[in-house]
Structure 1
Amino acid sequence: MNQTVLDGKVLTTIKEWKQEHSQPISAFIYDLQALRERARQTVSGLPEGCRLFYAIKANPTQEILKCLEPIVYGFEAASIGEIRKIRQVSSDKPVIFGGPGKKDNEIEEALLLQVKLIHAESILELRRISHIATRLGIQASVLIRVNLRASFPEATLIMAGRPTQFGIDEEQIEDAILLTQSLPNLQLEGFHLHSISNNLDAHLHARLISVYLERVKGWRERFGLTLNYLNAGGGFGISYTDSERKFEWDTFVSELRQVLYQNAIPGVELLFEPGRYIAAACGYYATEVVDLKCNHGKHYAILRGGSHHFRLPGAWQHSHPFEIVPVEQWNYPFGRPEVWDVEITVAGELCTPKDVLARDIQVSRLRVGDILLFTLAGAYGWTISAHDFLSHEHPDHIFL
């Protein structure tokens, strides 16, 4: 985090919050103004014929959805629970329904809630969507999700080009298309080709879209398809370990324009569904240091909080970036533990050695009672964590 943020409203909020609480604090803080600016910047740069959906799995809180609803074209959901959250915010916002394990009741309710598109993940799922839509007397619009037989740029998560649980193997695409054309109450609108996640190379991402367009163009010509959409997923990356490494959005958009100039498919809209890229930078996780210790020659800071609040660092096995917010208040009649110029491993309050948010980070000074402010915590933070493990109190959630 840069000093501008530390000198601003986030820091003020933390200090005010601490003054109001006698016990050690732990809170997620969300800067909604920053979220709006990020979303507007992302949407405004897209070429004509492109639409942006927000993947709410990154952060599905109602305040986030309300903030984004006027800006993004629609939302992408991965469960009926997420669809319900979207419909609480908007009754008619376009919704895409994805995920590899949809149940019959989810498909039925999604159709009744008028989702725009359903990503079909298998041959069986195509049959089940058709069966349920026919029973309801509803036309279901689907995109076939395809696991391409291709190599892809390096990214944190790879979901195609190798065996995964996502999509239909490209070698089965003929069977899937012919089946879709034969099934009642099913309309093939296009394809979903989300293959990588958290890619940091804008040049390679533009080339990836070119591969997608070439594949879909080939299928359209081969099978005489009338298509409306190509969903290229999200996958725009955030670096948690190198503050200088960023996904260059302007570079991607510039090269995307060239890709579309050469390979655009007439009548086919290009859909994107980022989540992390939109929400990560708007969130912070603030948690207080409750103890300092040296064990077997290693220094540890123990937090009021940890991976049961903020699982992302442990799940991805990285040291999450943080800044130290000094707190001068000390209410005990004995000395205040502190360390100077040491490497600190930041651990949570859980009874497991895996509860670590950062390892061997050099700090100039740290005291019990100071607050660690973890940045880039707006996506895949609270909602992916094991909230009730050991039954600790939940953190506060503050929306600026």
Structure 2
Amino acid sequence: MIQEEKLYVEDIILKSKKRHEPFCAYVYDLKQLSSHVQHLKRSLPKQCALFYAMKANPDKEILQTLEPFVDGFELASLGEVSKVNELCLNKPKVLSGPVKTDETLRKAIISGVCVIHVESEWELNRIALITEELQQEVQIALRVNLQLAIAGARLTMAGKATQFGVDEQDVPRLIHNVKGCRFIQLVGFHFHSVSNNLDAVAHAQFVSHCFQKVNEWENKFDLNVTYINVGGGVGIHYEEHDSPFDWSLFTSQVQRVINKEAHPSWKIVFELGRYMVAECGYYVSEVMDVKVNHGESFVLIRGGSHHLRLPAAWKMSHPFEVIPVNQWSYPSSRPALQDRHVTIAGELCTPNDVLARNVYCKQVRVGDLIKFKMAGAYAWTISHHDFLSHSHPEFLYI
């Protein structure tokens, strides 16, 4: 661990020693987050804008830490629209999502969302009705489900039949329909295609393909495109066999793609979520018991998948390390496991409550802490918090 991280860990241990209840908390390193997002912003080509995909983690402290450095926020619900308005985050906002209610669209238009990503012909028709009712203009981008998408990503939303976006072959019809809408201006296209992709070269090639399609439509339909959102989907190397996404290689290749294929009038948006915030977050939980059952070693923690659902949802072992806590207040000997593969499970009454399976551990004892790394994105807010009505974790900010 780097020296700074050691200081954070020591602080966690000190806090746990002072408590009578077993320790369980999300810990967010806001200094690391600030440094990371500034690096991302600086390394992008000048024609690019960096938006934060709020769905990755809508924590108030995280949003306020990001606000000075990002170019905008990507929102995907009425709740997210309301939250950024309540926090007075004064950066441009764009609205996404496959199901937008009339109330969501109306509030987004009234509150000044700069671009709405349109998912279907019916959604376009409803926006037309709402803008006529409000007598207010709005800018839109068509979200396109391309025939070609990035292969090898954890999740894929395009290049195949999904509930997302407009089929590429239907784009001409929607472009024609937009031209008949008084208060709607088509400014560009949205191409969010994958989630958790680790292949930088493939990602840059996907950006190139998006540019080629926009050039084709711009020329064929006499459009004035000023906005191209190539989505997010840049991945995190959660598993041991994964290689980190090569951000430096990616940005250098994107610069070459821009030089070759982009128009100077295009604003190119990257809406990063996971890649921006995952590594600033830790989920830390106290070991409550260790046991061997049918030859397999188990570490049971105060917490589990109702706090951190991602490893169970993706059927992976979440990366972790053991933080030794030497304090031991019980009169009996301290249960421990040494030099063996362990499965880390939680407090829920289901065998699916597993955060890491059959992973080597040098030593772990009851009362030690397990620190799950890369837990800043798609963690707490995607979890089933109230299953079994266990208490929620704390939230600590460094």
What is the TM-score when the length of structure 1 is the normalising length? Answer: 0.97
CA distance, structure 1, for counterparts of residue 4 and residue 304 of structure 2? 23
Q: Give the match for residue 266 of structure 2.
A: 268
Deviation, structure 1 residue 3:
5.1
Count of residue pairs the alignment pairs up = 398
CA distance, structure 2, for counterparts of residue 33 and residue 21 of structure 1? 26
RMSD of aligned residue pairs (Cα, Å): 1.2
Note the alpha carbon deviations across 1:119-176, whole angstroms, 9 max, x for none.
1000000001111111111111111000001142311111100001100001111111
Return 27-36 or 361-370, whichever deviates more. Answer: 361-370
Deviation, structure 1 residue 219:
0.4
- What SS does the corresponding residue of 2:326 show, helix, strand or coil? coil
Give the AA of the match of 1:259: V
* Match 2:350 to one of 344, 349, 352: 352
2:102 equivalent to 1:104: yes
Does the 8 A contact of 1:240 with 1:376 survive in 2?
A: yes
Deviation, structure 1 residue 13:
2.0
Give the AA of the match of 1:182: G
Provide structure 2 residue ranges, at least 5 long, that are not aligned to the other structure. Answer: none
Deviation, structure 1 residue 266:
3.2
Does the 8 A contact of 1:130 with 1:140 survive in 2?
A: no
Note the alpha carbon deviations across 1:329-364, whole angstroms, 9 max, x for none.
222221211111111100000011110000001111
Give the AA of the match of 1:258: R
CA distance, structure 2, for counterparts of residue 290 and residue 84 of structure 1? 39
- What SS does the corresponding residue of 2:179 show, helix, strand or coil? helix
- What SS does the corresponding residue of 2:35 show, helix, strand or coil? helix
- What SS does the corresponding residue of 2:321 show, helix, strand or coil? strand
CA distance, structure 2, for counterparts of residue 271 and residue 309 of structure 1? 32
Give the AA of the match of 1:203: V
Q: Give the match for residue 152 of structure 1.
A: 150
- What SS does the corresponding residue of 2:350 show, helix, strand or coil? coil
CA distance, structure 2, for counterparts of residue 339 and residue 251 of structure 1? 42
Does the 8 A contact of 1:29 with 1:285 survive in 2?
A: yes
* Match 1:247 to one of 221, 241, 245: 245
Q: Give the match for residue 7 of structure 1.
A: 6
CA distance, structure 1, for counterparts of residue 149 and residue 192 of structure 2? 13
What pairs with 1:108-187 in structure 2 (closer than 5 Å)? 108-187=106-185
Q: Give the match for residue 291 of structure 1.
A: 289
Q: Give the match for residue 364 of structure 2.
A: 366
CA distance, structure 1, for counterparts of residue 145 and residue 360 of structure 2? 43
Give the AA of the match of 2:6: D
- What SS does the corresponding residue of 2:245 show, helix, strand or coil? coil
Q: Give the match for residue 256 of structure 1.
A: 254
CA distance, structure 1, for counterparts of residue 262 and residue 356 of structure 2? 44
Give the AA of the match of 1:7: K
Q: Give the match for residue 27 of structure 1.
A: 25
Does the 8 A contact of 1:27 with 1:287 survive in 2?
A: yes
CA distance, structure 1, for counterparts of residue 242 and residue 63 of structure 2? 29
Note the alpha carbon deviations across 1:365-392, whole angstroms, 9 max, x for none.
1111110000000111111111111100
Decide whether aligned partners of structure 1 residues 243 and 89 sit closer, same or farther in structure 2, where only a CA change above 3 A counts.
Answer: farther
Deviation, structure 1 residue 7:
2.0
Give the AA of the match of 1:373: K
In percent, how many aligned pairs have the same letter?
45
CA distance, structure 1, for counterparts of residue 225 and residue 362 of structure 2? 59
Q: Give the match for residue 87 of structure 2.
A: 89
CA distance, structure 1, for counterparts of residue 124 and residue 293 of structure 2? 56
Deviation, structure 1 residue 90:
2.5
Q: Give the match for residue 74 of structure 1.
A: 72
Does the 8 A contact of 1:56 with 1:77 survive in 2?
A: yes
2:309 equivalent to 1:311: yes
Q: Give the match for residue 324 of structure 2.
A: 326
Decide whether aligned partners of structure 1 residues 215 and 197 sit closer, same or farther in structure 2, where only a CA change above 3 A counts.
Answer: same
Deviation, structure 1 residue 242:
2.8
Deviation, structure 1 residue 244:
6.7
CA distance, structure 2, for counterparts of residue 37 and residue 5 of structure 1? 13
- What SS does the corresponding residue of 1:182 show, helix, strand or coil? coil
Note the alpha carbon deviations across 1:227-250, whole angstroms, 9 max, x for none.
110000011111100387111111
Does the 8 A contact of 1:288 with 1:370 survive in 2?
A: yes
CA distance, structure 2, for counterparts of residue 148 and residue 38 of structure 1? 31
Deviation, structure 1 residue 91:
5.1
CA distance, structure 1, for counterparts of residue 110 and residue 305 of structure 2? 37
Does the 8 A contact of 1:54 with 1:273 survive in 2?
A: yes
Q: Give the match for residue 382 of structure 1.
A: 380
Give the AA of the match of 2:77: S
Return 279-288 or 14-23, whichever deviates more. Answer: 14-23
CA distance, structure 1, for counterparts of residue 275 and residue 360 of structure 2? 28
Does the 8 A contact of 1:292 with 1:300 survive in 2?
A: yes
Give the AA of the match of 1:392: H
CA distance, structure 2, for counterparts of residue 264 and residue 142 of structure 1? 20
CA distance, structure 2, for counterparts of residue 176 and residue 305 of structure 1? 48
Note the alpha carbon deviations across 1:273-295, whole angstroms, 9 max, x for none.
00000000000000011011111
Deviation, structure 1 residue 5:
5.5
